[in-house]
Structure 1
């Protein structure tokens, strides 16, 4: 499937009504260096009889203008504060970018399997914002009409402004405005800025982060970074339905201590993918390996964050062990590590992170698998008047592992990750064969 996408229109959409002109400060969590990239979603909708392209395009543009009233910071521009302490948003109704395009090669069936290469779908979000601090809009929406009458909606949202849950809430509100299910005053939840709620009480040295394994450095004993930068990465995709997830839970429980028998689907699936990834890469037995994943802290904080808070309200959970132990000690061992990493996150943990993060603090990259759970963001419910999406995924498949929702299977999860060419066959075999 080659890329042949033609842009028909690219316009800045400004808020439908006047919005506050102000400069808003982002939180310490928002301002972390490793969040200065764009979250890129791809939602694909099956062709529907009688769907008028012109009317649909106009409806989406109008709905975006309305959504930018309560979510007016998404129409602003992000910059560093003069003192360099954090980031801020200049809100002057500068606008979000809306693109309409057409493709003469893409069709709905192309999204049923993993793409052949990581950037195959790049043109379905034609403007890739690599650095939002250079003045680019923090929100880009592209509606691409496919050759079979289906539609792809690509969305790029600056991670500095919102996390996965926040962006999922925005997209559902945007969609409800497009269909008329809700008006501007009826959006649920009401978007809340209030970034000061995650401001640190005091500013500590980033050296304090060294006690957190996600930020500590480990020796690269195998040319790990070189391998991932020099070897071609191949996208993979495998779906775990309810039966296969139950199978993993049973396997993890059978190899765990009695006190650790209750595991979630996320815990066992993360552990299984982590082990399969490590085994397929054939890493040295003494190489330290880590798995990183977002832990939502909205309800873990005391007091909890208000409903509608759409900023970054997560910290990184991190489990680590040697390649030898990860491979040899079984799924129960790995799952217990993931579970313990989640349970360590409480109010004190979050405050400590907020007080210590700085512009220079970044998670380690050596021996690290990053997992992002998109299957619980509500993306599968985003209906712009074309029905629910037939496919939810990323614009580009990367070395970061995504857990995606599956159409019409509420409890199923699709795992997508790109792995080096030399490991792809073994990884595919191991992920499909938990008892091997």
Structure 2
């Protein structure tokens, strides 16, 4: 059943106190071509008996204004530098966009009991879609939407050029803490760190950009019309929850088919390898097609000196596991897990400096042929973002597409929900493989 959103209010929220009026350069990692989009989070809240909606709305708007004092670049506007060397943010307290809306014919259960019917079914909960983040749009858009049973969604879109997953988790939890009234700005922790120069080339230590050692940027032949397939075919959203028990079973399977021990492989390595294999087996690709799995690796503690813990800019590089369809599908889960593990182990200070040099001097971009991109939201603290309505009952991407999102499952310790859209003709095969790892 189709439903529409009625927007009750749309207003720019500016910082609640004076902030610097300045132009700040973004880092080389921030300026990467593939980050010029909006991260979009969907948080779902169950009805709260006796909740006074007008009071909550005012607290959220006030908290957003306070949060933008500390995170004042998020109230600015991102643009290209005049010399073309990267991006910058013009900080003039222009503000973030806040929207209050309602959907009168849908309940929380009806809308979120299962995966969305279409990849864009939940787009209505974040009505403003920013197609080009460099065209003057607010870097932050917040939409609170009431459902007919008084449940609510709170969706947040954040310009990825300004912030990474860890940074956005910090921002949202600080924003929510202010909305609950548990502290003022002076008592808010952690305090965000800007320091974007840390993720740009060091003129005193120039790393040589060796792209041959960075498969994430190398092009591979498209033997099967891979790119056009994901553009032309209908993609169907899927959601699968892996409980702690299922994750432990996967890890035992990976260990039994490799040299790994349970202590040597993480849940992310095992689960991402399993999803990657299931995806590849379902798509019926040529056996000699090269496939890649790309995933973000936090580098805050992998570079020397280490980056401050509360740095909220883009402080990650892409890990890349690569192999042929034949080897990925036939050699077992342990083999795929080893590929993911080795991709992580390659990332040290020298590797990071090579990436920074490459993206700043060559404007390289990850390949899209044969690629599955996995993004891990499950440890960002999104399941604890409480604006005064309790913790969310569901955390998901606003739109489900071919990028695979690992999201947390509220109230299920260590459980992970895998969200990814699959070509319609391959959905049943994918679900069969991902649910039955021993087949």
Q: How many angstroms apart in 2 are the aligned matches of 1:256 and 1:356?
A: 34
1:226 aligned to 212, 219, 228, which one? 228
Q: How many angstroms apart in 1 are the aligned matches of 2:399 and 2:377?
A: 14
Aligned to 1:83: 83
Instruction: Confirm or deny: 8 A CA contact 1:280 1:426 kept in the other structure.
Output: yes
Give unmatched runs, 5+ long, in structure 2.
none
Instruction: Confirm or deny: 8 A CA contact 1:141 1:154 kept in the other structure.
Output: yes
Instruction: Confirm or deny: 8 A CA contact 1:278 1:323 kept in the other structure.
Output: yes
Per the TM alignment, residue 112 of structure 1 is displaced from its structure 2 partner at its CA by 2.5
Secondary structure in 1 matching 2:102: strand
Q: How many angstroms apart in 2 are the aligned matches of 1:262 and 1:60?
A: 43
Aligned length: 436
Instruction: Confirm or deny: 8 A CA contact 2:252 2:262 kept in the other structure.
Output: no
> TM-score, normalised on structure 2?
0.97
Q: How many angstroms apart in 1 are the aligned matches of 2:377 and 2:194?
A: 22
Aligned to 1:182: 183
Q: How many angstroms apart in 2 are the aligned matches of 1:420 and 1:195?
A: 39
Per the TM alignment, residue 194 of structure 1 is displaced from its structure 2 partner at its CA by 0.5
Instruction: Confirm or deny: 8 A CA contact 1:189 1:307 kept in the other structure.
Output: no
Give unmatched runs, 5+ long, in structure 1.
none
Per the TM alignment, residue 407 of structure 1 is displaced from its structure 2 partner at its CA by 1.3
2:199 is the alignment partner of 1:198: yes
Judging changes above 3 Å, is the alpha-carbon distance between structure 1 residues 357 and 206 closer, same or farther for their aligned structure 2 residues? Answer: farther
Per the TM alignment, residue 329 of structure 1 is displaced from its structure 2 partner at its CA by 0.3
2:395 is the alignment partner of 1:392: yes
Q: Which segment is superposed worse, 51-60 or 203-212?
A: 203-212
Secondary structure in 2 matching 1:68: helix
Q: How many angstroms apart in 2 are the aligned matches of 1:368 and 1:205?
A: 27
> TM-score, normalised on structure 1?
0.98
Secondary structure in 1 matching 2:217: coil
Aligned to 2:68: 68
- TM-superposition CA deviations, 1:350-400 (whole Å, max 9, x none): 111111104732100000000000001000000000000011011100100
Instruction: Confirm or deny: 8 A CA contact 1:256 1:333 kept in the other structure.
Output: yes
- TM-superposition CA deviations, 1:36-86 (whole Å, max 9, x none): 000000001000101111111111101000000000000000010111111
User: Where in structure 1 do 4 or more consecutive aligned residues deviate above 4 Å?
Assistant: 202-207, 258-261
Aligned to 2:14: 14
2:324 aligned to 295, 299, 322, which one? 322
Aligned to 1:309: 311
Q: How many angstroms apart in 1 are the aligned matches of 2:261 and 2:395?
A: 37
Q: How many angstroms apart in 2 are the aligned matches of 1:276 and 1:350?
A: 30
Q: How many angstroms apart in 1 are the aligned matches of 2:236 and 2:208?
A: 36
